[in-house]
Amino acid sequence: MDLLEQLRKNGFFKVENLIAPAVIKNLLSSSMRTINQCTDEHRESVKSNGTMCNLAKLPEFVDIITYSPIQDLLKNIGGQDVRWTGGYLISKPAGGPPLFWHQDWWGWDDPVSYQLDAVQLFVMIYLTETSPAKGCLRVIPGSHRKVHSLHKLGQAHSENLIRVENPLDPAFASHADEIAVPAKPGDVIIGDSRVIHGAYANEKGGERPLLTLWYSPNFKDLPEPIMAQYENALRTEADDILDGSTTTEMPHEWPDSEKEKILSILPRYSGTAQPQKWNRLPDLDKLNQ
């Protein structure tokens, strides 16, 4: 099964050793500097994730966002107009709890969300070796295209889940359908943003840093309201990851040297459509069709 077939069937695939060791070494160094600046208050507020450092505010990561092997891979699985739509440095500390089950897509009110191919892809780059004991990814295969019982848990990105106010909540529990996706530094995991996924607890080892990059593989074919939302999202920082509210200037205000590198893959929309309403909950009847 080729990579595009894996993506369409399972909602994800992994490519080993895509990123050069020297690049990983530099990314790990930059990531740890950023993580070490995070306050205890921040880490407690996003306890399930560990950290949520917005890469759109961190121009030092521009070279991995525009990394040609990643761009080439996205083109090889059908990307004809690849645009970077955001991303985070997410790092689970030693002893960090599981990441709740969730999916990343937010445009479920538009019919394009129920098509075969992904509207948005995630690219996950783990900077240390991961396993089920070291906070690796876990996925429910096929959940991007069909209803799963975890869809019925409701809103995943709620404050009580992010803060792990109830560790016994079903959103943290193991599921019979889950598949562990361990990774080594240099591996890349590509996934359909609609697929249900989470992460295991980090029971062994130290900090487990991860870069999650989001891309629209065919931006030119998107409905205009979704284009407009993407354009807004990378001009302003999401105040609240739950609802997409916005405030602060970002990549368009980067230093010229970094801005020049990224401008060609930023979303651009100059029409008059209102941004797509933010909705992370799919219509389960449509998802089953």
Percent of the chain whose pLDDT exceeds 90: 88
Task: Please write the tens of the pLDDT for every residue from 190-241.
Answer: 999 999 999 999 998 799 999 999 999 999 999 999 999 998 887 765 444 4
Using the predicted structure, report yes or no on whether residue 289 has a pLDDT greater than 80: no
Please list, in sequence order, all residues whose beta carbon lies within 8 angstroms of the beta carbon of residue 5, skipping any fewer than 6 positions away.
Answer: none
What pLDDT score was predicted for residue 245? 45
Judged by DSSP in three states, 84 sits in: strand
In angstroms, rounded to a whole number, what is the distance separating the alpha carbons of residues 141 and 10?
5
- Whether 113 and 232 have beta carbons less than 8 Å apart is answered as no
- Whether 130 and 136 have beta carbons less than 8 Å apart is answered as yes
Give residue 156's pLDDT band: very low, low, confident or very high (50, 70, 90).
Answer: confident
Greatest distance between any 2 Cα atoms in the chain: 51
In angstroms, rounded to a whole number, what is the distance separating the alpha carbons of residues 35 and 248?
21
Please give the CATH number for the structural domain made up of 3-287. 2.60.120.620
Domain ranges across the chain: 3-287
- Retrieve residue 224's tokens: 């205009």
H or E element at residue 3: helix 3-10
Judged by DSSP in three states, 104 sits in: coil
In angstroms, rounded to a whole number, what is the distance separating the alpha carbons of residues 20 and 219?
28
Residue with tokens 């990774």: 183
Q: How far is CA 190 from CA 21, 71, 105, 265, in A?
A: 19, 12, 14, 18
Task: Please write the tens of the pLDDT for every residue from 12-28.
Answer: 999 999 999 999 999 99
- Whether 142 and 212 have beta carbons less than 8 Å apart is answered as no
